[in-house]
Chain A
């Protein structure tokens, strides 16, 4: 049963992820991204990481993607972005994607190498307490640095948006 569910969610996540790239219209891409995030949450639940699954939906699918869709609707982007000067920028983005993709693959490989594929997530139980304990003891410095980084980004956005403060 769990295997059937795993293949269902995995196929859904992969299909939606490919659809994000394949769609011409940016709104369809972001909707596929929402489907992908929800499917990944299903995979988290199969790994008994309930808390992680729910937080994934709340933060990404429920909050950040709403902002994405909101901005897309606000700008009312054309269905096909190529044309005018759009095509030139797209070409450079493709080349920039190659080293970034290799870097991402290396990161994922390093993580898998360190943790090992046959992790014992079932014993951990992704409970809120366990995650909180780890975040506020072993990973306190990265956690605080991340929040600082987000705060700086927030202030930067305000500075950009308001010309005279």
Chain B
């Protein structure tokens, strides 16, 4: 046990952990800035541009503000669950990064069922929202929490079913093997990505992923016109920031999964000297995730929120049958070829 702590393997693992965790946390902070700036440009505003050059120090200022804010607990709130909820929300969101391969070697670990591991861990994140809404002892958070749990249950179904087609083609549940199964090209120029084989599954996945992360146009859990701020109405300071971080971490997780499942993960042209070839896969991976995040922000800036009954109807009557039909057709094709 003690010898292991000084071996090279352990030090490499620690270095990877610090690199991935530090990188992800910094990226999350700057995603908030990106969102505010892009939203501002869509709405013909400058956005936050005063703190540092182009407002680049804004996330630091925000973080400092969150840390220094007064910690308040509403009267008659369930104190234990009120404090536990942000932690329950943030820990699963960050834990799923432990199995995501950011490059051929840049991954902490890979278990044989890492895809299901991510689904399992992220499905626990809903308790943070539910408990936060319940423990606040206030009506708007409770409404938001109930909407969130119903919505996340409904869309988790089509999210999970949409990837089954990909799994049938790739014959694996491991994220690293999913990426390597998409190496190479068809006819020399079309990359061998699953999006070309499973376009319907890709669309179902992306739409349910937006709903899973409670983003517009599916953000009924915190719709500010009706519910003030939904389940985190009564939260302030660092506890609010943890909910906020969890939301962005989930966004990055579902984007990373979409990249790995449908867009070939870190696969991409590798060229130049050896050090560039080492870095390029991670660059491709991050670029693909960035495209998803940008699309997320643009959708938020341009699409209005849908009604609650429309949300449920869309999930159960459109997405779920589509995902099931996709599984049926894919399994037929796989069985016949």
Query: A residues bordering B, Cβ < 8 Å?
Result: 1, 27, 31, 34, 38, 50-51, 54-55, 57-58, 61-63, 66-67, 69-70, 73-74, 127-128
With a CB–CB cut-off of 8 A, which chain A residues contact B130?
66, 69-70, 73
Tell me the residues in window 1-29 of chain B with beta carbons closer than 8 Å to chain A beta carbons: 1
Contacting pair A54 B117 (CB below 8 A): yes
Contacting pair A67 B145 (CB below 8 A): no
With a CB–CB cut-off of 8 A, which chain A residues contact B156?
62-63
With a CB–CB cut-off of 8 A, which chain A residues contact B150?
70
Question: Which of B120-128, B176-184, B222-230 faces chain A?
Answer: B120-128
Greatest chain B CB density within 10 A among A50, A51, A58, A128 is at A58
Contacting pair B146 A58 (CB below 8 A): no
Tell me the residues in window 111-150 of chain B with beta carbons closer than 8 Å to chain A beta carbons: 111-113, 116-117, 119-121, 123-124, 126-127, 130-131, 133-134, 142, 145-146, 149-150
With a CB–CB cut-off of 8 A, which chain A residues contact B160?
58
With a CB–CB cut-off of 8 A, which chain A residues contact B133?
73
With a CB–CB cut-off of 8 A, which chain A residues contact B123?
57-58, 61-63, 66
A63–B156 CA distance with the chains assembled, in angstroms: 9
With a CB–CB cut-off of 8 A, which chain A residues contact B124?
38, 57, 61-62
Q: Is B87 an interface residue (CB 8 A)?
A: no
Contacting pair B127 A50 (CB below 8 A): no
A50–B150 CA distance with the chains assembled, in angstroms: 28
A51–B173 CA distance with the chains assembled, in angstroms: 10
A57–B117 CA distance with the chains assembled, in angstroms: 9
With a CB–CB cut-off of 8 A, which chain B residues contact A54?
113, 116-117, 119-120
With a CB–CB cut-off of 8 A, which chain A residues contact B134?
27, 73
With a CB–CB cut-off of 8 A, which chain A residues contact B152?
66
Q: Is B153 an interface residue (CB 8 A)?
A: yes
With a CB–CB cut-off of 8 A, which chain A residues contact B131?
31
In angstroms, how far is the closest chain A Cβ from the Cβ of B251? 19
Tell me the residues in window 240-275 of chain B with beta carbons closer than 8 Å to chain A beta carbons: none
Interface string of B51-74 (1 = CB under 8 A from A): 000000000000000000000000
- Also in contact, A127 and B116, with CB within 8 A (given A69-B130, A70-B149, A73-B145): no
Contacting pair B149 A69 (CB below 8 A): yes
Query: B residues bordering A, Cβ < 8 Å?
Result: 1, 111-113, 116-117, 119-121, 123-124, 126-127, 130-131, 133-134, 142, 145-146, 149-150, 152-153, 156, 160, 173
- Nearest B residue to A45, CB-CB: B111
A57–B95 CA distance with the chains assembled, in angstroms: 14
With a CB–CB cut-off of 8 A, which chain A residues contact B149?
66, 69-70
With a CB–CB cut-off of 8 A, which chain B residues contact A73?
130, 133-134, 142, 145-146
Contacts A70-B149, A128-B113 known; list 14 others, CB within 8 Å.
A27-B134, A34-B127, A50-B111, A50-B113, A54-B119, A55-B120, A57-B124, A61-B120, A62-B156, A63-B156, A66-B123, A66-B126, A69-B127, A74-B146
Contacting pair B127 A55 (CB below 8 A): no
In angstroms, how far is the closest chain B Cβ from the Cβ of A95? 33
A and B contact pairs by CB, cutoff 8 A, 24 listed: A31-B131, A50-B113, A51-B112, A51-B116, A54-B117, A54-B120, A55-B120, A57-B124, A58-B119, A58-B120, A58-B160, A61-B124, A62-B120, A62-B124, A62-B156, A66-B126, A66-B127, A66-B130, A67-B153, A69-B127, A69-B130, A73-B142, A73-B146, A127-B112
- Nearest B residue to A62, CB-CB: B123
